[in-house]
A and B are shown apart, each in its own frame.
Chain A
Amino acid sequence: MRRTKAAAGLWLAAFLAAAPLRAAEAPPVLFSEPLSNRAVSYRMEAAWDPAAKVIRGTEVLTWRNTADRPTAEAWFHLYPNAFAHSETVFMRESRGGHRGFQADEESWGYCRLLSISATVGDGPEASPEAEYPGEDRTVLRLALPEEVPPGGAATFRIAFETKLPRVFARSGYASEFVMAGQWFPKIAVFEGGRGWNCHAYHLNSEFYADFGVYDVKVTVPQDHLVGATGVLWKEEAQGAEKSLYFHAEDVHDFAWTASPRYKVFEEDWKGVKIRVLMQAGNARQGPRYLAAVRGALEGFDRLLGKYPYPVITVVDPPRGGLGAGGMEYPMLVTAMSHPLVPEDVLYPEMVIVHEFGHQYWYGMSANNEFEEAWLDEGINSYYERRILDDLYGPDRSLFRNLFGWHMGDGDSHRLGYLSMPSADPVVRFSFRYANNHSYSVITYDKSALVLKTLEHRLGRERMDAVMKAYFARVRFTHPTTEDFLRIVSEEAGEDLRPFLSPLLFGTGTVDFSVLSVRNRKASPPKGYDLSKDPPVPFPKPQGEKKGEGKKGKGGWASEVTVLREGQLILPVTVRVHFADGTKRDLLWDGGGRRKTFSFPGGPKVVKVEVDPEGKVPLDRDRFNNGWMDKADKTPASAAAGRMCLAVQGLFAFLASAL
């Protein structure tokens, strides 16, 4: 305990003695004109102590009030405190588990503030009063010495120590590997009338922060390779350690990673440096990673616009550190793979394309992930599917060949959605979802399917134009769902709220089905004609003999009734096939519970398909969407045949094992 205090004291002395970055050595300028409002400017130093698993850091933060009203407070996120003990909000909600990875009960984490001072404008430096207003210590409130007016600024000098846990949820260490995400005291977003937006760190939520400039010096052992947000502009050795200087502009977070076991794969794509930090033992998958990043860069460039930063770093977490995988930070993403993942299983590619997509949806279109996570996760999942489908084919963009079976990325969204389609609406605070599964399938999968439904509604070309325009208008801002509805309506030239609102704000579902098909021989009326007085029998057609009608002369009177169950009202196409080989596509607006289509005097109806092109991916059951006059036993036999290998194989195995 005393040794810790002495070390902290030495560290503080060093911090006070030297400015975090010497003014004489200026970092490069990445953008001649700021791309964002740059509300924050962080100058930080982070020294990694690999033995203690501690980052000793200093931070000089200049925060500018970009809202329209003053504030006398400043709220900060201290995310590492989520891992301080078993009773934090995160640990209670997660029960120590995250995406299948378990916390190590011998390894906890925290962010300890060693000193903090605040200066408002040109005022004197003061030690602000600090309190933790939330359920745990992931949220800190500082009372400022005076109000910061709109347009005014405050500067905070903080010395801190972040102890990282063994990684199971995004940030932490695994042996010599370290992934430092959300590692420093991070100021929340001041929203004027709504006050400070600063939620506790929950299981089902990610992050929200202002754009700005980051200058960070990272000190690690000499043999460690480092990847980080920003560009590396200076490196200096100091005995057994080295310091690397990173600079980033117009980003809202800074993450870094280090390990002595990285093998670097690099490539240039139209001026963007792709840097893949692979585990040496997984190096064979390096080319897969590079190809996926390249495909993602090309796809997002084509669909949304240029990736503006000069570097993208992709991190391959090690064995034991996969809890850090599948995460996005500005200019740096973590993937997830293993040497055992075969080439035909495109899970690593999916993760890379998804996480890279977050450079657009989260990185640049920086919505509040605590409150409206669908705006990044959902929209990004839609683009993930688009790009993977383009790269690998729509029906096999996740599994190309798994013992003869295949699956597309979009199919996985649909399966996820079907597993829990209606417990929560899309627009909901992340931590208020029924559970982690509902958060996952609604925020990612249903949202992606909603956008697919919108694409079918608008047509792909128009959808692409609308979304590209939406992105251009919201990039480097904090868009909300309201912004989304307004802008896409404006860009589409029609009010899309009536169409989108039930999908985003409601929990309704839809299931189209063929209720009945009736084929009746069309024949002249028989019996009495009541239009005559007294009634007279209808005349018998000339030459009709018994049984002639069955041969089909005179055609068929057919009726097809389609049913819509569930609360969602969506337009759908009904394709009717006739015995003569012709077919008709009929549009039903989905209004009412059912719709009957009549076909008098034509050929017999032999097949009906509701939504034949799968344009309603939210339909809960595809198998009741059709009807065929003539049964086709082949698909069922084929499926049963494939299952036979497993079932009969079990008995054969037992017979041979005994």
Chain B
Amino acid sequence: MGFASALKTAFSWNRRALYAGILLYGTTFLFGAAALAPLRAALHARLDRAPAAAGLLGGDLSLLSEFFMSQPGVGAATFGAVPALLLLFLPVVLFLQGAVYAQAADEAREGTFWRPFLEGGIRFFLPFLGLILLNLVLYLLLTVLPVLALLGIRRGLKEATDPRADLLLLLLFAGVGGLLFVMARNGAGFARARRALRPQGEPLGRAFLRSTAFTFRRFLPVTALGALFVALRWAWLGLFAFALSPGVETPGKAAATALLLQAGFFGTALLRVAEARAQVAYLRPFLEAEGTPVPEPEGANRPEEPEAPPGPEEAPAGAEDAGV
């Protein structure tokens, strides 16, 4: 399965993928709302009866700045809670992504959404944590050389008086940083895809090494795939958060802007699910070529299962796993 087929699979939405996207979005929404709660409460307590606050509707930055200056505790409360919430968010999102990759690897599995989703999340939590840490170490090491090179270039440009030298530096930093970011994400993504496709097949370290070798061997399509999804997410969010935003000058416009922003975040969550599915779909034929048994994709010919005797509507526990 090639690049185009992987993309086709990614955007062939089914109920499970949609639910996974909703869960991912819902989680970011809840954590975002929790982080924002102290600020929201302080804003309402201070501004709801303050006539001067009306200027905020028009985007008066000085008023917002004055608000934070007059309420130094609010900024600390809001942004002080963010690190703790981020720490809490990491295992949650790791769990969700375990479930997303498991689901993408086993699209053909029948049954309800919840049970395999939760099972995948639990089963892959620790392996995925290990893979991400291995990937982190690898890319920290890989980053050292480009960073040293960039710092050397910056030092070399110390005497440059043309302000465009800063543009060059910015482009270099953005380009190299962006490439490393995409590569690191791909490294983590394809390692998880491999693990999800071969849950019992190989030790974690070997799986990581093989997956990393794969991403380097197939550098161009793999990087293009990752870059495409990064670009799509930014474009989607930019479209809904800025381009379509009607502003906040009136209550109606503010509500529309808030809804559009959430639509933007929802889209990015769906794209994350789609990306996991694309990675799995892209990797699957290569694993099959290795002779590795992998779960079959959705729609593939499945061996006929023995006819079940007529019984109660609900299948007994564990029956969903039979034949997979």
Chain A interface residues toward B at CB < 8 A: 174-177, 259, 261, 279-282, 318-321, 338-340, 395, 399, 402-408, 411-412, 414-415, 418-419, 607, 609, 612, 620-628, 631-645, 647-652, 654-658
Contact = CB atoms under 8 A, between A and B. Distances in A.
Given A320-B159, A650-B86, A651-B27, 7 more contacts: A415-B62, A415-B69, A623-B46, A626-B49, A636-B48, A638-B254, A639-B64
Given A319-B165, A339-B163, A658 B94 contact: yes
Contacts of B59: 404-406
A638 B257 CA distance: 9
Interface stretch (B102-110, B266-274, B308-316): B266-274
Contacts of B90: 654, 658
Given A419-B69, A635-B53, A650-B82, A320 B160 contact: yes
A321 B245 CA distance: 40
Contacts of B230: 656
A644 B40 CA distance: 10
B15 interface: no
Given A318-B161, A625-B52, A658-B97, A636 B43 contact: yes
A281 B167 CA distance: 10
Interface string B130-141: 001000000000
Given A174-B161, A319-B161, A658 B254 contact: no
Nearest to B92: A655
Nearest to B32: A648
Given A176-B161, A640-B36, A656-B268, A645 B61 contact: no
Contact of A175 (B28, B93, B160, B272): B160
A412 B163 contact: no
A243 B102 CA distance: 78
Contact of A626 (B51, B85, B167, B271): B51
Contact of B268 (A319, A418, A645, A652): A652
B195 interface: no
Interface of B is mostly: helix
Interface of B: 24, 27-29, 31-33, 35-36, 39-40, 43-44, 46-67, 69-70, 78, 82, 85-86, 89-90, 93-94, 96-97, 132, 158-167, 170, 181, 185, 188, 230, 233, 237, 241-242, 245, 247-248, 250-251, 254, 257-258, 261, 265, 268-269, 271-272
A492 B62 CA distance: 32
Nearest to B254: A638
B155 to A, nearest CB: 12
Contacts of B51: 607, 609, 612, 625-628
A279 B268 CA distance: 42
A645 B241 contact: yes
Scoring B35, B162, B230, B258 by chain A CB atoms within 10 A of each residue's CB, the highest score goes to B162
Which residue, A399, A406, A634, has most C-beta atoms of chain B within 10 A? A634
Nearest to A608: B51
A321 B166 CA distance: 13
22 contacts: A281-B163, A318-B163, A319-B160, A319-B166, A395-B60, A404-B247, A405-B61, A406-B59, A609-B51, A620-B70, A625-B51, A633-B44, A635-B50, A636-B47, A645-B241, A647-B36, A651-B32, A652-B269, A654-B86, A654-B90, A655-B27, A656-B268
Contact of B164 (A339, A620, A652): A339
Given A651-B31, A656-B233, A632 B265 contact: no
